[in-house]
Structure 1
Amino acid sequence: MSRFPVPAREELPAELRERFAAVEERSGFLPNVFAALSWRPTEAAAFFAMHDALMDKETPGLSKADREVIVVATSAANDCLYCVIAHGAIVRIRARDPHLADQVAVDWRKAPLPPRMLAVLEVAVRLAVTPVEVTPDDLTALREHGLTDDDVWDVGAIVSFFALSNRLAHWAAIPPNEEFFLMGRVPRA
């Protein structure tokens, strides 16, 4: 599950044990990234807090599904199998579309997305791959598509946070859980 030690659940701080139990109750399993990051509990807690602050909200320009689409497109650009598969599952559920995540991961430019999201992904993928090429004009273009300053910030913060996540998943060799592959593709039992 990781190139680094994975502590037993009972060795973790109560905060992480409670979070893991809540995630397992909701999804039916514990994502491998949770267990893999738990060997450094303070960092894991900070990681999950940042994740929640960025991903667990709806704003005028970015729905929860939009935020996950950003993760899939930029994680694909970073060749992060874990994040493409795990967040692809979340896209399928939040967008209620069993095909969208795969289309975004393979070639977001051809995915059936509205012009606003295509503009977001244009900037997001550039930030993920060649950040020095992002200009003030890119931020202006996002505002012209109806994103607020908070939304524009969130685009950059999501891309940056998941660049960290992508690299940690590579570094630790975290495989995606088998459960993610079918989530949102078949009806829940």
Structure 2
Amino acid sequence: MTDFTLHTIDSAPQEAKDRLESTQKQMGFLPNLFAKMAEAPTLLEAYQTLDGIYSRTSLTAAQQQVALLAISSVNGCSFCVAAHTGGAKAAKVPEGDIAKLRELQNPDDPKLNAVSRFAKHLVEARGWADDAEVNAFLEAGFEKQQVLELVIAVSLKTLSNYTNHIAGTPLNDELKSLEWQDPRT
């Protein structure tokens, strides 16, 4: 595997320093994902910008985190599964539903189940969503807008999951209690 630098604020390219400093102040630590993304400051900017946009979708915070957790688990991204396990807990997703997502299953909650199922379908179908899947999502009480908002979730996780796979991002100590192993391996 090619060695990508796990940047600090000091070692990062100048164009990434402000973003890293801001993140560290906001979160209390610097996620290793961002430390790796700093190698390409425009990637870091793209991820953080898209994350801000995604947070403004009509999906609830719990639905947003369920989508991100489901996508990350399907993509086998241990870093993002750990991070979004924390995000799902903060968004008050039921513990049992989080456990199911980490086991590549869908939540019991009907709305969260529909989000997880459709988000995973989008990834597995590479965007060629079956009409039956779209209709099932809509019949679960969602709108066409939310079908397309889940494309943002897939895009966001493509940026982070692929970066973690390529760069071999290690889990931060702050996330160790949420560590995840892909049950398929």
In structure 2, do the counterparts of structure 1 residues 129 and 81 end up closer, same or farther at CA, with 3 Å as the change threshold? same
Deviation digits for residues 101-120 of structure 1 (CA, Å, limit 9, x no counterpart): 233111433x332x222122
What letter corresponds to residue 122 of structure 1 in structure 2? R
What letter corresponds to residue 56 of structure 2 in structure 1? K
Say whether residues 1:167 and 2:166 are aligned partners.
no
CA distance in 2, matches of 1:125, 1:155: 10
Report if the CA contact (8 A) 2:33-2:160 is conserved.
Answer: no
Within 5 Å, give how 1:121-132 maps onto structure 2: 121-131=116-126
SS in 2 for 1:3: coil
Deviation digits for residues 8-53 of structure 1 (CA, Å, limit 9, x no counterpart): 5245446x43332332223221110011000111222122111221
Gaps of 5+ in 1: 184-189
Aligned position for 1:177: 172
Deviates more, 1:39-48 or 1:154-163: 154-163
In structure 2, do the counterparts of structure 1 residues 161 and 92 end up closer, same or farther at CA, with 3 Å as the change threshold? same
Aligned position for 2:62: 65
Gaps of 5+ in 2: 179-185
CA distance in 2, matches of 1:98, 1:3: 36
Aligned position for 1:186: none
SS in 1 for 2:105: helix
Report if the CA contact (8 A) 2:62-2:93 is conserved.
Answer: no
Aligned mate of 2:135, from 130, 133, 140? 140
What letter corresponds to residue 86 of structure 1 in structure 2? A
**Percent identity for Structure 1 against Structure 2:** 24
Aligned position for 2:91: 94
In structure 2, do the counterparts of structure 1 residues 93 and 17 end up closer, same or farther at CA, with 3 Å as the change threshold? same
What letter corresponds to residue 108 of structure 2 in structure 1? P
TM-score with structure 2 length normalisation?
0.81
Report if the CA contact (8 A) 1:75-1:84 is conserved.
Answer: yes
Report if the CA contact (8 A) 2:74-2:104 is conserved.
Answer: no
What letter corresponds to residue 95 of structure 1 in structure 2? K
What letter corresponds to residue 102 of structure 1 in structure 2? A
What letter corresponds to residue 161 of structure 1 in structure 2? L
Deviation digits for residues 90-145 of structure 1 (CA, Å, limit 9, x no counterpart): 11111164554233111433x332x2221222221122223366213322322222
Aligned position for 1:153: 148
Say whether residues 1:44 and 2:44 are aligned partners.
yes
CA distance in 2, matches of 1:53, 1:105: 25
CA distance in 2, matches of 1:141, 1:103: 20
Report if the CA contact (8 A) 1:58-1:64 is conserved.
Answer: no
Aligned position for 1:187: none
How many equivalent pairs are there? 176
TM-score with structure 1 length normalisation?
0.80
Cα RMSD after superposing both structures: 2.4
